[in-house]
Amino acid sequence: MSVVARFAPSPTGYLHVGNARIALVNWLFARKHDGRFLLRLDDTDLERSRPEYAEAIEEDLRWLGLAWDAFARESDRMDRYADAFERLRAAGRLYPAYETPEELDYKRKRQLARGEPPRYDRAALRLSDAERSRLEGEGRRPHWRFRLADADVAWGDLVRGPTHFSGAHLGDPVLFRADRRPLYTLSSVVDDIDFGITHVIRGEDHVSNTAVQLQIFAALGADPAAIGFAHLSLLTDAGGGGLSKRHGSLSLRELRRQGIEPMAVNSLLARLGTSDPVEPFADLDELLAGFDLSCFGRAAPKFDPAELERLNEAVLHRLPFAAVRGRLAAMGLADMDAALWEAVRPNLKRLSDAAEWHAVCRRPVAPVADDPEFTAAAADLLPPEPWDAGTWAAWTAAVKARTGRSGKALFQPLRLALTGRDHGPELKTLLPQIGRERALARLQGKVA
């Protein structure tokens, strides 16, 4: 059977790195098995879903390079959920319940106070026709609950291993609101059946949902044993706290705004929670080669922004010119060539940093001439072009022989005069990019 995996976010906020990790692992798993990857928007929560969030989800996934093979919106599939409603109701698995949120909260508190697991007491099943009519006459509209079989639930989780839920701890879940709109618990199962999903890979916060949904699969005529479930441990922030869509600093939009490379994000998220070392990958194909779902463990990994920063630099330092040519042109650096990129790449923390060194080599720079007598002497010794990576060593050796200077006293005044900065890429690679005409003028104290 061909693998079909899916990512089913709710467009109720911007994706954060925890969401991205789930999307990435599903994508990698599907591609590793030559399967298909579905993007499905869980947008049945009309009060919280927003078009701008839906657009942002697609934009974020494209930024990461996670192309999908099929796309669906749950809001377009209401007829399928209505059909499931009728089937479950006819089978005696769906029943109306009339409690208000306040009444349900009171019941939960009473159960907890007695040391009992908080689950629905099925009071609605004991209502007479007259009682239901009275409640509806008061204006109450029922929500609809799924009647679970009173049995334990177990499955072989692809990450957690053998997983078991006691039937005594499971309460009949609400599947439909009072207006007959479905909740995630139901719509997700219907969609997984209709789209032929073979593997459900999601966060461990859905483990209890899986215990319930396995029964819904069976009630709708599907074989729950035909679907592989994997529940990944949830990322925490550096302090051990949970991540949220409202945690703006860890949203993909914010990381992109900060200039973080998508492959830095992918490289980190694909390895967090596994036994494999975190290392920079230049592209998704390279990352895919070493992907193995069985490497994920149950410990909660921490997402450390400082680790992402280090990884971002390492990813940048591996990118070939072909991978950044278009982005550099979009930054106004269309005349940047491969040689200049190779010269400045090892010094970049963000791709935007390339603009500074492009300007040093291609635009006028005001030199820092703290020692004009020395730099003038160095100017006299500039060799003729063509220049290459050996020019710097030959030239500075000649300057050293003429002036007797060495070390910082030799190199720092030359760097300041040539670049106007006291740090930067190795001058053996940068000097040929500056060129003799500009170098000579700057050594003579001129803006060039």
pLDDT at position 247 over 60: no
pLDDT score at 338:
96
pLDDT at position 300 over 60: yes
> Percentage of the chain with pLDDT > 70?
98
- Rg, Å, the chain Cα set: 31
pLDDT at position 1 over 80: no
Q: How far apart are CA 161 and CA 231, in angstroms?
A: 10
Higher pLDDT, 243 or 443: 443
pLDDT score at 2:
94
| Residue pointed to by tokens 């930067």 | 424
| Three-state secondary structure readout of the chain | CCCEEEECCCCCCCCEHHHHHHHHHHHHHHHHCCCEEEEEECCCCCCCCCHHHHHHHHHHHHHHCCCCCEEEEHHHCHHHHHHHHHHHHHCCCEEEECCCHHHHHHHHHHHHHCCCCCCCCCHHHHCCHHHHHHHHHCCCCCEEEECCCCCCEEEEECCCEEEEECHHHCCCCEEECCCCCECHHHHHHHHHHHCCCCEEEEEHHHHHHHHHHHHHHHHCCCCHHHCEEEEECCCECCCCCECCCCCHHHEHHHHHHCCCCHHHHHHHHHHCCECCCCCCCCCHHHHHHCCCHHHECCCCCECCHHHHHHHHHHHHCCCCHHHHHHHHHHCCCCCCCHHHHHHHHHHCCCHHHHHHHHHHHHCCCCCCCCCHHHHHHHHHCCCCCCCCCCHHHHHHHHHHHHHCCCHHHHHHHHHHHHHCCCCCCCHHHHHHHHCHHHHHHHHCCCCC
pLDDT band at residue 40 under the 50/70/90 scheme: very high
Determine the average pLDDT of the residues in 283-302: 95
pLDDT digit string, tens, across residues 59-112: 999 999 999 999 999 999 999 999 999 999 999 999 999 999 999 999 999 999
| Contact present, 367 and 445 (Cβ < 8 Å) | yes
- Average pLDDT over the chain, rounded to whole? 94
pLDDT score at 243:
67
pLDDT digit string, tens, across residues 102-147: 999 999 999 999 988 889 999 999 999 999 999 999 999 999 999 9
pLDDT score at 167:
81
Sheet of strand 94-97, all strands in order from the earlier edge strand to the far edge: 94-97, 143-146, 174-176
Determine the average pLDDT of the residues in 2-30: 96
pLDDT at position 195 over 70: yes
pLDDT at position 446 over 80: yes
Q: What's this model's pTM, rounded to 2 decimal places? A: 0.91
Cα atoms in the Cβ-side hemisphere of radius 13 Å centred on 438: 19
pLDDT at position 241 over 80: no
